[in-house]
Amino acid sequence: MDIRPFNFGTLAGEEHFCNRIIELQKLSSNFRMGINTTLVSARRWGKSSLVEMTAKHVIKKEKNIRFCYIDLFNTRSEQEFYVQMAQQLIKATSTKAEERIEAVKTFFRRLIPSIGISPDQQQEFTLSFSMKDLQRSPDEILDLAENIAKTKKTKIVVCIDEFQNIGYFTQALSFQKKLRSHWQKHKHASYCLYGSKKHMLMDIFGNVSMPFYRFGSFMFLEKIDARHWIPYIIHRFEKTGKKITEPLAKQISSLMENHPYHVQQLAQETWDVCGKFAKSTDIENAVTRLLRQMTILYQREVDLLSNMQVNFLKAVCSGVEKFSSNETLREFNLGSSANIKRVREALIEKEVIDINNDKPEFSDPLFKIWFWRIYMQRW
Protein backbone atom coordinates (compact mmCIF):
# COMPACT_ATOMS: atom_id res chain seq x y z
CA MET A 1 0.00 0.00 0.00
CA ASP A 2 1.17 3.53 -0.77
CA ILE A 3 2.20 5.63 2.18
CA ARG A 4 -0.30 8.41 2.75
CA PRO A 5 1.54 11.72 2.92
CA PHE A 6 -0.98 13.41 5.21
CA ASN A 7 -4.10 12.53 7.09
CA PHE A 8 -7.29 14.38 7.73
CA GLY A 9 -10.79 13.30 8.53
CA THR A 10 -9.78 10.17 10.39
CA LEU A 11 -7.87 9.87 13.63
CA ALA A 12 -4.22 10.76 13.35
CA GLY A 13 -2.26 7.51 13.74
CA GLU A 14 1.39 7.06 14.66
CA GLU A 15 3.00 8.40 11.45
CA HIS A 16 0.59 11.33 11.15
CA PHE A 17 0.75 12.35 14.75
CA CYS A 18 2.51 15.63 15.29
CA ASN A 19 3.93 16.67 18.67
CA ARG A 20 1.45 16.59 21.63
CA ILE A 21 4.29 15.14 23.70
CA ILE A 22 3.42 16.95 26.90
CA GLU A 23 -0.29 16.20 26.55
CA LEU A 24 0.49 12.57 25.82
CA GLN A 25 2.62 12.27 28.95
CA LYS A 26 0.04 13.94 31.14
CA LEU A 27 -2.83 11.87 29.82
CA SER A 28 -0.81 8.62 30.03
CA SER A 29 -0.02 9.31 33.61
CA ASN A 30 -3.69 10.09 34.39
CA PHE A 31 -4.77 6.85 32.73
CA ARG A 32 -2.19 4.78 34.55
CA MET A 33 -2.90 6.32 37.93
CA GLY A 34 -6.65 6.16 37.53
CA ILE A 35 -7.12 9.93 37.59
CA ASN A 36 -10.28 11.17 35.91
CA THR A 37 -9.69 13.61 33.06
CA THR A 38 -11.84 16.19 31.35
CA LEU A 39 -10.50 17.27 27.97
CA VAL A 40 -11.77 20.27 26.06
CA SER A 41 -10.83 21.89 22.77
CA ALA A 42 -12.51 23.28 19.68
CA ARG A 43 -13.69 21.03 16.88
CA ARG A 44 -11.09 19.05 14.98
CA TRP A 45 -8.15 20.08 17.06
CA GLY A 46 -7.30 16.48 17.89
CA LYS A 47 -9.02 15.26 21.07
CA SER A 48 -10.04 11.85 19.78
CA SER A 49 -6.64 11.30 18.15
CA LEU A 50 -4.86 12.20 21.36
CA VAL A 51 -6.98 9.89 23.51
CA GLU A 52 -6.52 6.93 21.16
CA MET A 53 -2.83 7.50 20.69
CA THR A 54 -2.30 7.76 24.44
CA ALA A 55 -4.29 4.57 25.02
CA LYS A 56 -2.07 2.76 22.49
CA HIS A 57 1.07 3.94 24.26
CA VAL A 58 -0.25 2.97 27.68
CA ILE A 59 -1.29 -0.52 26.54
CA LYS A 60 2.24 -1.12 25.25
CA LYS A 61 3.68 -0.42 28.67
CA GLU A 62 1.01 -1.86 30.86
CA LYS A 63 -0.90 -5.03 30.12
CA ASN A 64 -3.31 -4.79 32.99
CA ILE A 65 -5.39 -1.93 31.71
CA ARG A 66 -8.44 -1.87 29.43
CA PHE A 67 -9.92 0.99 27.46
CA CYS A 68 -13.59 1.30 26.72
CA TYR A 69 -14.75 3.88 24.15
CA ILE A 70 -18.20 5.35 24.15
CA ASP A 71 -19.23 7.95 21.59
CA LEU A 72 -22.33 9.92 22.48
CA PHE A 73 -22.63 11.70 19.13
CA ASN A 74 -26.08 10.15 18.53
CA THR A 75 -27.14 9.61 22.13
CA ARG A 76 -29.95 11.85 23.25
CA SER A 77 -31.47 10.16 26.29
CA GLU A 78 -30.42 8.75 29.61
CA GLN A 79 -31.70 5.31 28.62
CA GLU A 80 -29.69 5.25 25.41
CA PHE A 81 -26.66 6.25 27.43
CA TYR A 82 -27.06 3.29 29.80
CA VAL A 83 -27.48 0.84 26.96
CA GLN A 84 -24.35 2.11 25.19
CA MET A 85 -22.33 2.08 28.36
CA ALA A 86 -23.35 -1.48 29.25
CA GLN A 87 -22.69 -2.80 25.74
CA GLN A 88 -19.33 -1.14 25.29
CA LEU A 89 -18.06 -2.15 28.70
CA ILE A 90 -18.90 -5.80 28.14
CA LYS A 91 -17.39 -5.68 24.65
CA ALA A 92 -14.21 -3.98 25.82
CA THR A 93 -13.59 -6.42 28.64
CA SER A 94 -14.46 -9.75 27.03
CA THR A 95 -13.93 -10.85 23.45
CA LYS A 96 -15.61 -14.17 22.78
CA ALA A 97 -19.39 -14.54 22.63
CA GLU A 98 -19.45 -17.08 25.50
CA GLU A 99 -17.35 -14.80 27.68
CA ARG A 100 -19.70 -11.93 27.02
CA ILE A 101 -22.76 -13.97 27.94
CA GLU A 102 -21.00 -15.10 31.10
CA ALA A 103 -20.11 -11.50 31.97
CA VAL A 104 -23.72 -10.39 31.54
CA LYS A 105 -24.81 -13.16 33.92
CA THR A 106 -22.18 -12.21 36.46
CA PHE A 107 -22.58 -8.45 36.44
CA PHE A 108 -26.31 -8.01 36.09
CA ARG A 109 -28.44 -9.18 38.97
CA ARG A 110 -31.38 -6.82 39.00
CA LEU A 111 -31.40 -5.61 35.41
CA ILE A 112 -31.84 -8.62 33.16
CA PRO A 113 -30.89 -7.63 29.61
CA SER A 114 -31.61 -9.64 26.49
CA ILE A 115 -28.52 -10.32 24.46
CA GLY A 116 -28.16 -10.04 20.68
CA ILE A 117 -25.21 -11.73 19.01
CA SER A 118 -24.48 -11.82 15.29
CA PRO A 119 -23.87 -15.15 13.53
CA ASP A 120 -20.16 -14.40 13.04
CA GLN A 121 -20.08 -13.82 16.82
CA GLN A 122 -17.38 -11.18 16.70
CA GLN A 123 -18.48 -7.62 16.11
CA GLU A 124 -22.18 -7.46 16.80
CA PHE A 125 -23.14 -7.57 20.41
CA THR A 126 -26.20 -5.78 21.71
CA LEU A 127 -28.02 -5.59 24.99
CA SER A 128 -31.56 -4.46 25.52
CA PHE A 129 -33.19 -3.63 28.80
CA SER A 130 -36.68 -2.97 29.99
CA MET A 131 -37.04 0.80 30.03
CA LYS A 132 -38.85 0.65 33.34
CA ASP A 133 -36.00 -1.26 35.00
CA LEU A 134 -33.45 1.16 33.60
CA GLN A 135 -35.31 4.11 35.06
CA ARG A 136 -35.75 2.44 38.41
CA SER A 137 -32.29 1.03 38.96
CA PRO A 138 -29.52 2.13 36.64
CA ASP A 139 -26.94 1.63 39.43
CA GLU A 140 -25.67 -1.66 38.06
CA ILE A 141 -24.68 0.10 34.86
CA LEU A 142 -23.29 3.17 36.58
CA ASP A 143 -21.03 0.94 38.66
CA LEU A 144 -20.40 -1.64 35.95
CA ALA A 145 -16.91 -0.45 35.03
CA GLU A 146 -15.80 -0.55 38.66
CA ASN A 147 -17.34 -3.98 39.26
CA ILE A 148 -15.80 -5.53 36.17
CA ALA A 149 -12.42 -3.99 36.93
CA LYS A 150 -12.47 -5.25 40.51
CA THR A 151 -13.55 -8.76 39.58
CA LYS A 152 -11.10 -9.06 36.68
CA LYS A 153 -8.32 -7.44 38.71
CA THR A 154 -7.61 -4.92 36.03
CA LYS A 155 -7.90 -1.17 35.52
CA ILE A 156 -10.51 0.23 33.19
CA VAL A 157 -10.44 3.64 31.57
CA VAL A 158 -13.81 4.65 30.18
CA CYS A 159 -13.35 7.24 27.41
CA ILE A 160 -16.53 9.13 26.59
CA ASP A 161 -16.49 11.27 23.44
CA GLU A 162 -19.01 14.05 22.70
CA PHE A 163 -19.77 14.08 26.39
CA GLN A 164 -21.53 17.45 26.10
CA ASN A 165 -24.53 15.60 24.68
CA ILE A 166 -25.60 14.67 28.20
CA GLY A 167 -26.62 18.33 28.40
CA TYR A 168 -29.49 17.53 25.99
CA PHE A 169 -31.02 14.81 28.17
CA THR A 170 -34.26 15.64 29.94
CA GLN A 171 -33.38 16.16 33.59
CA ALA A 172 -29.79 16.69 32.60
CA LEU A 173 -28.78 18.07 35.96
CA SER A 174 -30.07 15.25 38.11
CA PHE A 175 -28.50 12.79 35.66
CA GLN A 176 -25.13 14.49 36.01
CA LYS A 177 -25.42 14.38 39.78
CA LYS A 178 -26.16 10.67 39.61
CA LEU A 179 -23.17 9.99 37.35
CA ARG A 180 -20.79 11.95 39.46
CA SER A 181 -21.93 10.49 42.77
CA HIS A 182 -21.25 6.98 41.44
CA TRP A 183 -18.09 7.63 39.48
CA GLN A 184 -16.27 9.54 42.15
CA LYS A 185 -16.30 6.47 44.36
CA HIS A 186 -14.66 4.26 41.75
CA LYS A 187 -11.12 3.12 42.48
CA HIS A 188 -10.40 0.68 39.65
CA ALA A 189 -12.27 2.47 36.90
CA SER A 190 -11.51 6.01 35.77
CA TYR A 191 -13.13 8.30 33.24
CA CYS A 192 -11.87 10.47 30.43
CA LEU A 193 -14.59 12.86 29.29
CA TYR A 194 -14.24 14.99 26.17
CA GLY A 195 -16.12 16.45 23.27
CA SER A 196 -16.25 19.10 20.62
CA LYS A 197 -18.71 21.74 21.75
CA LYS A 198 -16.38 23.81 23.79
CA HIS A 199 -18.95 26.21 25.19
CA MET A 200 -21.27 23.39 26.30
CA LEU A 201 -18.43 21.46 27.90
CA MET A 202 -17.21 24.53 29.69
CA ASP A 203 -20.71 24.80 31.15
CA ILE A 204 -20.52 21.23 32.39
CA PHE A 205 -16.92 21.24 33.67
CA GLY A 206 -16.19 24.86 34.39
CA ASN A 207 -19.28 25.96 36.25
CA VAL A 208 -19.05 25.86 40.06
CA SER A 209 -22.71 24.99 40.41
CA MET A 210 -22.54 21.96 38.12
CA PRO A 211 -21.91 18.39 39.36
CA PHE A 212 -18.90 17.81 37.09
CA TYR A 213 -17.07 20.89 38.24
CA ARG A 214 -13.55 19.78 39.18
CA PHE A 215 -14.41 16.18 38.47
CA GLY A 216 -10.88 15.41 37.41
CA SER A 217 -7.73 16.76 35.95
CA PHE A 218 -8.75 19.40 33.41
CA MET A 219 -6.89 19.65 30.11
CA PHE A 220 -7.39 22.23 27.44
CA LEU A 221 -5.96 21.11 24.13
CA GLU A 222 -4.40 23.92 22.11
CA LYS A 223 -3.72 23.95 18.39
CA ILE A 224 -0.35 22.56 17.29
CA ASP A 225 2.38 25.17 17.10
CA ALA A 226 4.10 26.03 13.80
CA ARG A 227 7.46 24.94 15.22
CA HIS A 228 6.09 21.40 15.31
CA TRP A 229 4.18 21.56 12.05
CA ILE A 230 7.17 22.70 9.99
CA PRO A 231 9.42 19.67 10.60
CA TYR A 232 6.40 17.38 10.39
CA ILE A 233 5.42 18.69 6.94
CA ILE A 234 9.00 18.57 5.66
CA HIS A 235 9.40 15.03 6.98
CA ARG A 236 6.14 13.77 5.44
CA PHE A 237 7.12 15.22 2.04
CA GLU A 238 10.50 13.53 2.27
CA LYS A 239 9.02 10.21 3.33
CA THR A 240 6.79 10.19 0.27
CA GLY A 241 9.38 11.15 -2.33
CA LYS A 242 8.87 14.93 -2.57
CA LYS A 243 10.50 18.01 -1.09
CA ILE A 244 9.29 21.20 0.50
CA THR A 245 11.36 24.04 1.97
CA GLU A 246 11.04 25.35 5.50
CA PRO A 247 9.47 28.71 4.50
CA LEU A 248 6.85 26.94 2.42
CA ALA A 249 6.01 24.47 5.18
CA LYS A 250 5.66 27.47 7.44
CA GLN A 251 3.37 29.13 4.94
CA ILE A 252 1.04 26.11 4.98
CA SER A 253 0.70 26.12 8.76
CA SER A 254 0.34 29.87 8.93
CA LEU A 255 -2.34 30.05 6.20
CA MET A 256 -4.32 27.47 8.15
CA GLU A 257 -3.56 29.18 11.47
CA ASN A 258 -2.04 25.97 12.86
CA HIS A 259 -5.42 24.27 12.87
CA PRO A 260 -4.66 20.51 12.99
CA TYR A 261 -7.27 19.30 10.50
CA HIS A 262 -6.76 22.13 8.04
CA VAL A 263 -2.96 22.10 8.09
CA GLN A 264 -3.06 18.41 7.19
CA GLN A 265 -5.64 19.10 4.49
CA LEU A 266 -3.71 21.93 2.85
CA ALA A 267 -0.43 20.01 3.11
CA GLN A 268 -2.07 17.08 1.32
CA GLU A 269 -3.56 19.29 -1.37
CA THR A 270 -0.19 20.98 -1.93
CA TRP A 271 1.46 17.58 -2.16
CA ASP A 272 -1.14 16.53 -4.73
CA VAL A 273 -0.59 19.53 -7.01
CA CYS A 274 3.19 19.84 -6.78
CA GLY A 275 5.91 18.09 -8.71
CA LYS A 276 8.99 16.72 -6.98
CA PHE A 277 9.70 20.13 -5.39
CA ALA A 278 6.86 22.16 -3.93
CA LYS A 279 6.70 25.79 -5.00
CA SER A 280 4.89 28.77 -3.57
CA THR A 281 2.44 28.74 -6.50
CA ASP A 282 1.56 25.14 -5.64
CA ILE A 283 0.31 26.28 -2.25
CA GLU A 284 -1.73 29.02 -3.90
CA ASN A 285 -3.21 26.51 -6.33
CA ALA A 286 -3.96 24.14 -3.50
CA VAL A 287 -5.83 26.84 -1.60
CA THR A 288 -7.81 27.75 -4.73
CA ARG A 289 -8.73 24.11 -5.27
CA LEU A 290 -9.89 23.74 -1.69
CA LEU A 291 -11.93 26.93 -1.88
CA ARG A 292 -13.55 25.69 -5.05
CA GLN A 293 -14.46 22.40 -3.39
CA MET A 294 -15.93 24.12 -0.38
CA THR A 295 -17.69 27.04 -2.00
CA ILE A 296 -21.21 25.54 -2.11
CA LEU A 297 -21.02 24.61 1.55
CA TYR A 298 -19.61 27.96 2.60
CA GLN A 299 -22.19 29.83 0.55
CA ARG A 300 -24.91 27.86 2.30
CA GLU A 301 -23.34 28.63 5.66
CA VAL A 302 -23.48 32.36 4.88
CA ASP A 303 -27.06 32.10 3.61
CA LEU A 304 -28.07 30.86 7.04
CA LEU A 305 -26.62 33.91 8.79
CA SER A 306 -28.45 37.12 9.59
CA ASN A 307 -27.17 40.41 8.14
CA MET A 308 -25.86 41.38 11.53
CA GLN A 309 -23.96 38.09 11.85
CA VAL A 310 -22.42 38.60 8.40
CA ASN A 311 -21.40 42.12 9.41
CA PHE A 312 -19.79 40.77 12.55
CA LEU A 313 -17.76 38.30 10.47
CA LYS A 314 -16.67 41.14 8.20
CA ALA A 315 -15.38 42.94 11.26
CA VAL A 316 -13.52 39.82 12.47
CA CYS A 317 -11.96 39.36 9.03
CA SER A 318 -10.89 42.98 8.93
CA GLY A 319 -8.96 42.52 12.16
CA VAL A 320 -11.21 44.67 14.37
CA GLU A 321 -10.21 44.55 18.05
CA LYS A 322 -12.76 46.74 19.78
CA PHE A 323 -16.13 45.46 18.72
CA SER A 324 -18.25 47.74 20.84
CA SER A 325 -16.51 51.00 19.98
CA ASN A 326 -18.81 53.49 18.27
CA GLU A 327 -16.53 53.60 15.30
CA THR A 328 -16.74 49.82 14.71
CA LEU A 329 -20.47 49.75 15.31
CA ARG A 330 -20.94 52.43 12.69
CA GLU A 331 -18.41 51.17 10.15
CA PHE A 332 -19.76 47.61 10.13
CA ASN A 333 -23.37 48.46 10.74
CA LEU A 334 -23.57 46.43 13.93
CA GLY A 335 -26.35 48.22 15.80
CA SER A 336 -25.88 48.72 19.52
CA SER A 337 -23.17 47.29 21.73
CA ALA A 338 -25.82 45.19 23.51
CA ASN A 339 -26.59 43.66 20.15
CA ILE A 340 -22.98 42.64 19.61
CA LYS A 341 -23.16 40.25 22.53
CA ARG A 342 -26.18 38.46 21.05
CA VAL A 343 -24.58 38.21 17.62
CA ARG A 344 -21.39 36.83 19.11
CA GLU A 345 -23.25 34.21 21.14
CA ALA A 346 -25.26 33.13 18.11
CA LEU A 347 -22.12 32.70 16.00
CA ILE A 348 -20.44 30.70 18.77
CA GLU A 349 -23.55 28.54 19.04
CA LYS A 350 -23.43 27.92 15.28
CA GLU A 351 -19.72 27.08 15.64
CA VAL A 352 -18.78 29.69 13.06
CA ILE A 353 -16.55 31.52 15.49
CA ASP A 354 -14.72 30.57 18.61
CA ILE A 355 -13.26 32.75 21.34
CA ASN A 356 -9.52 32.32 21.79
CA ASN A 357 -7.60 34.51 24.21
CA ASP A 358 -10.69 36.69 24.48
CA LYS A 359 -10.71 37.32 20.74
CA PRO A 360 -13.32 36.03 18.28
CA GLU A 361 -11.74 33.86 15.58
CA PHE A 362 -13.18 31.93 12.65
CA SER A 363 -13.43 28.25 13.70
CA ASP A 364 -12.52 27.23 10.17
CA PRO A 365 -9.49 29.08 8.74
CA LEU A 366 -10.39 28.07 5.20
CA PHE A 367 -13.84 29.58 5.63
CA LYS A 368 -12.14 32.77 6.74
CA ILE A 369 -10.10 32.88 3.54
CA TRP A 370 -13.21 32.14 1.49
CA PHE A 371 -15.16 34.83 3.30
CA TRP A 372 -12.45 37.40 2.72
CA ARG A 373 -11.58 36.60 -0.87
CA ILE A 374 -14.79 35.32 -2.40
CA TYR A 375 -17.49 36.84 -0.27
CA MET A 376 -15.93 40.20 0.53
CA GLN A 377 -13.94 40.21 -2.71
CA ARG A 378 -10.73 41.32 -1.01
CA TRP A 379 -7.19 40.13 -1.50
Ligand X SMILES: Nc1ncnc2c1ncn2[C@@H]1O[C@H](COP(=O)(O)OP(=O)(O)OP(=O)(O)O)[C@@H](O)[C@H]1O
- Rounded to a whole number of angstroms, the minimum distance from the CB of residue 51 to Mg ion is 8
Instruction: Please state the separation of Cα 43 from the chain's center in Å.
Output: 6
State how far the Cα of 141 lies from the Cα of 244, in Å rounded to an integer.
Answer: 53
Confirm or reject binding of residue 12 to ligand X (CB under 6 A): yes
| Beta strand ranges found along the chain (DSSP E) | 37-40, 65-71, 114-117, 125-128, 155-161, 189-195, 217-220, 353-356, 359-362
Confirm or reject binding of residue 8 to ligand X (CB under 6 A): yes
| Beta strand ranges found along 118-187 (DSSP E) | 125-128, 155-161
Q: Which is nearer to ligand X, 80 or 222 (CB)?
A: 222
Partner whose footprint covers residue 10, from Mg ion, ligand X, none (CB < 5 to 8 Å by kind): ligand X
Q: Which is nearer to Mg ion, 125 or 194 (CB)?
A: 194
- 84 contact partners, CB below 8 Å, separation of at least 6: 70, 72, 75
What angle, rounded to 10 degrees, do the helices at 144-152 and 97-107 form?
A: 110
| Long-range contacts of the stretch 356-359 (C-beta < 8 A, 24+) | 359/321
Q: Which is nearer to ligand X, 46 or 216 (CB)?
A: 46
Confirm or reject binding of residue 43 to ligand X (CB under 6 A): yes
Confirm or reject binding of residue 48 to ligand X (CB under 6 A): yes
Task: Tell which one of 36, 84, 196, 253 touches ligand X (CB under 6 A).
Answer: 196
**Is residue 251 a contact partner of residue 263, using CB atoms and an 8 Å limit?**
no
Identify which range of 110-118, 140-148, 257-265, 302-310 contacts ligand X by CB under 6 A. 257-265
Confirm or reject binding of residue 10 to ligand X (CB under 6 A): yes
- Rounded to a whole number of angstroms, the minimum distance from the CB of residue 310 to Mg ion is 29
Confirm or reject binding of residue 18 to ligand X (CB under 6 A): yes
Binding residues vs ligand X (CB under 6 A)? 7-12, 16-18, 20, 41, 43-49, 196, 224, 260-261, 264
